[in-house]
Structures are given as structure tokens and as C-alpha cells.
A and B are shown apart, each in its own frame.
Chain A
Amino acid sequence: MSQLKELTLQGLWKNNPGLVQLLGLCPLLAVTSTITNALGLGLATLLVLLGSNVAVSLVRNHIANEIRIPVFVLIIASLVTVVQLMMNAYTFGLYESLGIFIPLIVTNCAIIGRAEAFASKNAVLPSALDAIMMGLGFLLVLLILGGMREILGQGTLFDGADLLFGSWAKGLRIELFTVDSHFLLAMLPPGAFIGMGLLIALKNVIDNRIKQQNAIEKGSIARARVTGAAQ
């Protein structure tokens, strides 16, 4: 149970692939122009990550150390192709709108990173959990960034959700406000970059608060030293 808690904490917060490891920035910045795209890519990445962690964990004792990286790459590339074919077959609209970023999941370092750092050293169940939590952490960052950019950029939420879920989802679209001209910065990649920076800063602020809080509770803050002062 404590392992589950630790893995959850690591994936969603302490070691979040988007905010802390800063892995997979290319798709993260490129597709988060709407929350729908973010959700689609996040789910696809989660699926690939889960598959690759389980597969890597299964073969970890049978693969010689020297060839483990090419094997991981093969596994991940195959899984991404499977996901790509599935999306092409069942969510055609989303497949078109995510475009090149689905095959590019292969190059998302978060995936091979987890394979190498966790799945190759742990049993199947913890590896699957790690994948789910890391995937969720990544998905959450994508969603927050996508939501921010969509609201600022075009004043809507869930625009084009029908591409992902089918036509019933047209009703999910929320029009927050209408603007004649969109706020371009939010929609373009530089806006994603700035938004991402703000999110990382926010996370660091929260972390610092918590640290200070803990320090106060322990009573050690009273003896806090001025930075750079003599030891």
C-alpha cells in the first residue's frame, strides 16, 4: 500500500514527467492548443507507457544488458504503431488533428525513461502502477495547459470533443466568451512555452510553501541561516 502511495506521489507530483523531469516537451507544447487534443495525446501516451512498462518488466530478466535499449525501442515503437492504427481506425478525426504527434510518441523520452529507470528493475505490477501514475501526471499537465490555452486563446473548453468521443460529445463544448479576434499568443507554441514556465513556477512555489510549513512545525526555521553566510 505504501508503494502505491509513493508511486502515486512520484508520478503526479514529486517526479511529474512534465513538470519535474521535463520530458516529452515537444508533444506537450505542440498539441496543447485545445483540451481535446491534450486529452487525446495524453491518453495515447498513457496507453503506450502502460504497455511498454508491462512489456519491459516482463522481459527484464531474459534480455541481456547490452541489448536492452534496442529491445526497449522496438517494444515502444511497436506499441506506438498499434495505438496509431487503432486511433486511425476508431477516432479518425482526432487522428487527423493530432497528426504527426502520434508517431512522435516514440520519441517521448518519458516512455523510454520509465522503461529504463523503473520497469527494467521492478516486477510487473509496480511497473504498471508506475506507468499509470506517470501517464496520469503527464496527462494532467497536458490538460491544465490545454485548458489554459483554450480558454485564453479562443474562449471555449472542449472544442472539438466530438473528434475524440463521437458526435454526442458536441454538447460538451462550453463557450465561455466570444471574441472577434483570438488571443494569438496563447494559441501559438510560444504561449505554450510561457504557460509551461508558469506551471513549473507555480509547482515550485507550492513546494517551497510546504517545505517552509514543515520546517516551522519542526521548529527549525528559527535557526535558518542567511544564504552564503559563514558556516
Chain B
Amino acid sequence: MIRVVSKNALALGAVAIFCVAILSVVNQLTAPRISEQKLANKMAILAEVLPGVEINQALLHDCVMVTDEELLGRSEAQTMYRWRKENELAAYVIAATAPAGYSGNIDLIVAIDPNGTVLGTRVLSHQETPGLGDKIESRRSPWILSFSGKSVTEDNAQQWAVRKDGGNFDQFTGATITPRAVVNAVRNAVLFVQQHPELATLTANCPTE
């Protein structure tokens, strides 16, 4: 009896070792390609929010981890890139989260110039209803482009809302919560940049992947 059990245990162990060996080989082989893909993906997104800017390694390395649950929507640190044009700070590219989406968090990336004007923004991930809330994606609707060029001042706080709430941004038929959440998140990201002028001089501290 014990002999059979131990024989089976050994066989099972052998199969497990064999599987792990194969997996580690495949992992080794695909790891460089996967990190390449992740990087390309990141660069493509940065290129979308910073139109006309050449995305290079310098931009990716000039990166600071920032945390602000109230304005950036997450209790964990989020990444922020600083784009410098001829050594002059020209834009912050900041990851922000809209915590009040219709179903869960909406992750955004927002490019903001140091004065607080939005240069561009895109949705990175969301779980909003397909066909209703997913119009926040740039490939479904140009709505997300309406943020470009908008700035936040003391006088125009009211305009940073969907039309239903008396603001300047369209809501979608059948979906008001989603655009409302995105509008607030973008506005908060701008406020974050405006409230923290020291961001320009912090040392880059993003973990390298």
C-alpha cells in the first residue's frame, strides 16, 4: 500500500517538475518579447496623449511615483512622466483613476502642461457597459478628445461637468455616470498638477521594469 502511494507521489512529482521545466523555458523565451510589447504599448499610449511628440527613452525614464487618493483616485502610487522640450518642462503625463465609474474604476492617462491645460487624455482600462459607457474609448467615439485644450481656472469649475449638471461636456444617451466620472477625474488630475508645483523638480524614482 505505502509502496503504491509513494510510487504515485513520485510520479506526480516527476510530472510536476517536467511541467515546470517546460514553463520556465517558454517563460525565458517569451520574456524579452513580452516586455518589448508592454513598452511599445506604453509608448503608443504616450504618443496619443502627446500628439506630435517623439516618445523616447528619456521621457520614459523621467518618471515620478505620486500618490493622492483624493485627486488621483487610488491609494497606491501612480506613475507620472515629465516631458521636457529642450530641457524646459513642457508637460506632465499622469495616470489617474476615476473611482466613480458605473462599474468600477476607470483608468486614464492625462497629459497636462505646467499651467494646467489638458493636452490630451485617453482611457487605459474600464469595465463600463459595452455600447453605452464604452464611448469614452477613443476608438468608439471622439468624445475623449473634447478635453484637449481645456484648462481649469477658479472661474470655470462649473464648466467641468456634463451638460446635465450644467457643464460643458456631453453625456451619452443612456450613460451619464461614466462621462461624469471621467470629467471629474481629468479635472482632479489638473488640480493635482496645479497644487503641486514641486513635481517639476522631484528626482525620478520609478522602478525600472
Interface residues in chain A, defined as those with a beta carbon under 8 Å from any beta carbon in chain B: 33, 59, 62-64, 66-67, 70-71, 74-75, 77-78, 81-82, 85-86, 88-90, 92, 153-154, 180-184, 187-188
Contacts and interface: CB of A to CB of B under 8 A. Distances in A.
A26 B173 CA distance: 30
Given A85-B27, A88-B37, A89-B34, A188 B129 contact: yes
Given A82-B23, A82-B26, A92 B37 contact: yes
B168 to A, nearest CB: 22
B16 interface: yes
A33 B129 CA distance: 12
Interface residues on B, range: 20 to 34
B202 interface: no
A66 B12 CA distance: 10
Given A78-B22, A187-B130, A188-B129, A92 B8 contact: no
Contacts of B173: 180-181
A74 B16 contact: yes
B131 A85 contact: no
Contacts of A74: 12, 15-16, 19
Contacts of A92: 37-38, 40-41
B33 A90 contact: yes
Contact of B132 (A33, A66, A81, A184): A184
Given A71-B15, A82-B22, A153-B131, A66 B30 contact: no
B174 interface: yes
Interface string B1-27: 000100110011001100100110011
Of listed B15, B22, B173, residue having the most chain A CB within 10 A: B15
Given A71-B15, A82-B23, A86-B30, 17 more contacts: A64-B4, A64-B7, A64-B11, A70-B12, A71-B12, A74-B19, A75-B19, A86-B26, A92-B38, A92-B40, A92-B41, A153-B130, A181-B174, A183-B131, A184-B129, A187-B131, A188-B129
Contact of A63 (B4, B11, B38): B11
A64 B7 CA distance: 9
7 contacts: A64-B11, A88-B34, A89-B37, A90-B33, A153-B131, A180-B173, A181-B131
A89 B30 contact: yes
Interface string B32-59: 0110011011000000000000000000
A82 B26 CA distance: 7
Interface in B94-147: 129-132
Contact of B23 (A81, A90, A180): A81
Nearest to B36: A89
Of the candidates B12, B40, B131, the one having the most CB atoms from chain A within 10 angstroms of its own CB is B131
A63 B11 CA distance: 8
Contacts of B23: 78, 81-82
Contacts of A188: 129-130
A9 to B, nearest CB: 34
Given A88-B37, A181-B174, A33 B130 contact: yes
A182 B131 contact: yes
A15 to B, nearest CB: 29
Given A64-B8, A82-B23, A89 B15 contact: no
A80 B174 CA distance: 39
Contacts of A88: 30, 34, 37
Contact of A67 (B11, B34, B129): B11
